[in-house]
Amino acid sequence: MINNRSLLIVGGLAAVAWLASNSLYIVDETERAVKLRFGEIVEENIQPGLHVKIPITQTVRTFDTRVLTLDTDASRYLTREQKAVIVDSYVKWQVVNPTRYYEATAGDEMMAVRLIQPRVDESLRNEFGRLNLQEIISERRDDLMTGPTQELDKLMREELGVAIRDIRVKRIDLPEDVSSAVYSRMRSERERQAREWRAQGQEESERIRANADRRRQVLLAQAQSRSETLRGEGDAEAAAIYSEAYQQDEEFYSFWRSLDAYRQSFSGGGNMMVLDPSSDFFRYLKSPSPEGEQ
């Protein structure tokens, strides 16, 4: 009797435990859920926390709502001028509508990836197809992907219940034949700019040199004019001094000038002079006294 009662208690506890484990469920902070009854959705977008369901007849499907990354394969696209570019990109996406996501993919993440990837490829193909190669190379990649991200986000919310948070280009490569043409054009452009800069530099150099030469000529003319003025003033002052000295004592002035002439003439050492001994030059050598005094 006791054994039967114990078995009943144990059985009752087991039934309660089973009922509790199949009636209660937890949705994690990083998840959202939908409740199904025989495969039909009866409760949408269940938030994180502890919830109750009816065992056997109801099931719960949870979905990761964190931002996920889809790393796409490098693809070849044509630009507006029919030049090929090889683009390596990735996509950030997130489940935002669990009900629509379950209806479109049955909650299978790989199925969602297979549906998103061709849409991304089509969007990038359209975007690169409207741009020429120069625009693709020169534009910022973040700005380049703004339009496709917004368009694809709107479409994927409606079709799959997922949001496209971002499309990023990791690398844009050019096929070898296109690379050669692009590099040649870029080199030509840089050479043209270099020629322009050199021409501008040469023009500026000639202008600076011309200004410097002009200023040099002006300064030399001013200096020459100043020197002539000073020389004239000096000569005038010297003449005035000579004149004053001559007027004070004409004989002494003549004597002093003769001595200065002797000193200048005989200072060279081996100089030879051919002069008449009776010339006036030797006047004071023959008689240092004034004329008429012997």
pLDDT at 268: 61
Three-state SS annotation for 65-98: CCCEEEECCCEEEECCCCCEEEEEEEEEEEECCH
Q: Which of 88, 102, 122, 19 is nearest to 60 (CA)?
A: 102
> Digits of tens for pLDDT over the chain (294 positions)?
556 666 666 666 666 566 666 788 888 999 999 999 888 888 888 899 888 888 878 888 999 999 999 998 888 898 888 888 888 999 999 999 999 999 999 889 999 999 999 999 999 999 888 888 777 776 566 678 888 899 999 999 999 999 999 998 888 887 776 666 667 777 888 888 899 999 999 999 999 998 998 898 989 888 988 898 988 888 888 778 777 766 666 666 677 777 677 666 666 666 666 656 666 666 666 655 555 443
CB of 251 within 8 A of CB of 293?
no
Query: What is the Cα–Cα distance from 8 to 67, expressed in whole angstroms?
Result: 50
pTM above 0.85, yes or no: no
